[in-house]
Structure 1
Amino acid sequence: MAAPTRGPSAASRSAPHGVPEGAPGAAAASGERAPTRIRVRAPQDLASGLLIAAFGLSALWMGRDWPTGTLASVQSGFFPRMIGTLMVLAGAVVAGRSLLVHGPALPSWNWRPLAGVTAAVLAFAGTVETLGLVPAVLILVALGNLAGQPLRPGPLALLGGVLAAGCVALFVWGLGLPLQVWPLQVWPLWVSP
């Protein structure tokens, strides 16, 4: 019968002092080659790069059947393919940079601004033809106000009025777009084109 040995065992002698066996640093400290892991140093850049590349890939996919033509005779598919390719390359550069340079982590997700802005844009798109431009802009401003720090009623009304007047001046008077300004075209003629 062999006597038990005193002191550390052969396996525990290979690990450095204070590092238990099987710990991630034990293999590297003992001279064994640890498996390499890709370390993301800037998660926000990685997410941005992947999003840019995804938009580029979707542009390439949507324009896949459009004719590109040549540089001398550019056709409808040339610019979507060019922009899509540039977006994929830019996304790859930004995502690759996230592996090399330290950057900020991903912020926590806040649903309120996303829901508020989405609801405001969808409401504008759904009401601009039926209610007219001015009420649709006012609805857009009111719902967009719920997305962040709400304004008091006075500044909110001023913002809505200025934006509605600016939209009428730019799109109806300036560009001459055939947009309905009010729900019924019985309002004073000075707001119509």
Structure 2
Amino acid sequence: MSRYHQLRDDLHHPGRWHLRTPVDEHGQKLNPWQFTEGLRLEPLGVIRFPVRPDGVELDFSWASFSIPVVNSPFVQLFERLGIQDVQFLPAEIEGHTGSWFILNALRTLRCIDDARSAEVRYFTPEDGQPEKVGEYKYVRGMRIDPSKAEGAHLFRPWGWPEALIISEDLKQALEREGITGTRFIEV
């Protein structure tokens, strides 16, 4: 059975930068959740990320609200591997040159294994959000059912879009390539 990992940001990388909520060319904040819904997005104009505090550039970083931001070597690796189900949206990083992109995962799979996860909670009518009843409210120690991952290399789990899941093969490729800023948690 295949192994999968949650791709996380290495928050302990020495001197690292911290990307904030994206803004448009007029400085207006963009809806950050649109980048976690698994939907292809039309070009959004110029997307900029403020940086506070500034620091060491990383090949992979989370911006606010679980938005993965990557550089050209990261994108080129995905192209070489033929990874599908992803959209790279051009972005700019305040005070930094180079090519940057939002990694927009286009696949969402219903694959969280509630029984093997440490703890899951669902929204109930008592939570006062009727539109969310039956959706995940909390997932801790997430485990996925690999048989429901359909052989995917990159996806977000249905109901918990702040998680970005990758295959063991993709994890190993990122490590071989020396991509900075990544941390992996087996799920």
Instruction: Tell which structure's C-alpha radius of gyration is larger.
Output: 1
TM-score (normalizing by structure 1):
0.18
Of Structure 1 and Structure 2, the greater helix share is in 1
Of Structure 1 and Structure 2, the greater strand share is in 2
TM-score (normalizing by structure 2):
0.19
